[in-house]
Structure 1
């Protein structure tokens, strides 16, 4: 069975071109969504996937109708392949029921995996270089050593913690975290 899926990004856009192409391709069931491809929850796609059985084919007008990221597309097609479900993109001419189509997806999966590994490698190298320069990851601390000394001094002089925090431009919980004695004085 050929199960079609069509998607446009907004309600103002028209699905007719995709629906006509899916009908011409011989789809017996067609599902659709009118929402952005970045949305994780796509009811039409979920319905289409739930109707697919071993030996069926998911048909799209174009690859980008399935999702925006190559990673997401490859993961979905790999899931389909595990369930022995084929994938066919009309405009792109990609059909995983053929050896050439399967080859294309193996190449894409390899490229995506290499990109993920390179990204991890670049991130680790960047963090190591930053660490060598004395930079520590994360946000800058709001309580600098001078603010901490000022807070302790103001608290010793009897200023209420709420006023000390406001004076230093920090929250009361931040003040309590850095000066635990302040919570006992309140």
Structure 2
């Protein structure tokens, strides 16, 4: 197919990253400037105007070059969906420069779909295991902190002089319970817990 176009997609995820290395890799492949699409950091991951523009230009047989697989999507599921849309729905090739095994041009006769699915399932599994490992470390950290006496959550609202004054006014019938709660900035359940504690003392 003589009119096959080569596209390059470049994305940096933070302001301190530089796209120069990725651009150089694309130009070394002979990709024209007009066919290199770039996305820089924004408030939302979905604001990938460069990616959307590139994707809408892709046609069957075209080749998309990307430096790293994670630039294709925000997580494993998103990456798999984008990969399938490009390789199966559009019929274009994807080449991940940092992972030579993810080059659909080298697989023919239906093997490209099989190989891609195997590799992407493996990557998805690895991403899930990594997430579980992170959660496991977080749980260990919380347990260690609790054993060391660290208290999580909002600090307990103590029985202060203001509370005692509001309590006395309320008990004497000078103010309502709602007004007493407002004076000490407490929610009903917290207020009545402190009342019970105070009365026990």
Provide TM-score, normalisation by structure 2.
0.53
CA positional deviation for 1:168:
8.8
CA positional deviation for 1:110:
4.1
Change (3 A) 1:165 1:11: closer
Q: In the aligned structure 2, how far is the partner of 1:75 from the partner of 1:19?
A: 25
**Does 2:49 correspond to 1:32?**
no
Give unpaired runs (5+ residues) of structure 1.
120-153, 172-186
Q: What aligned pairs does 1:164-183 form with structure 2 within 5 A after superposition?
A: 164=181, 169-170=186-187
Provide TM-score, normalisation by structure 1.
0.57
Q: What aligned pairs does 1:16-55 form with structure 2 within 5 A after superposition?
A: 16-28=20-32, 29-35=35-41, 39-55=45-61
Give deviations 1:86-108, integer Å, cap 9, x for gaps.
Answer: 21112211212332653332114
**Does 2:107 correspond to 1:107?**
no
Secondary structure of the corresponding residue to residue 187 of structure 2: coil
Find 1:86's aligned residue among 90, 93, 111: 93
The two structures, once aligned, show a CA RMSD in angstroms of 3.7
> 4+ residue runs of structure 1 moved beyond 4 angstroms?
164-168
Secondary structure of the corresponding residue to residue 105 of structure 2: coil
| Bigger Rg over Cα | 2
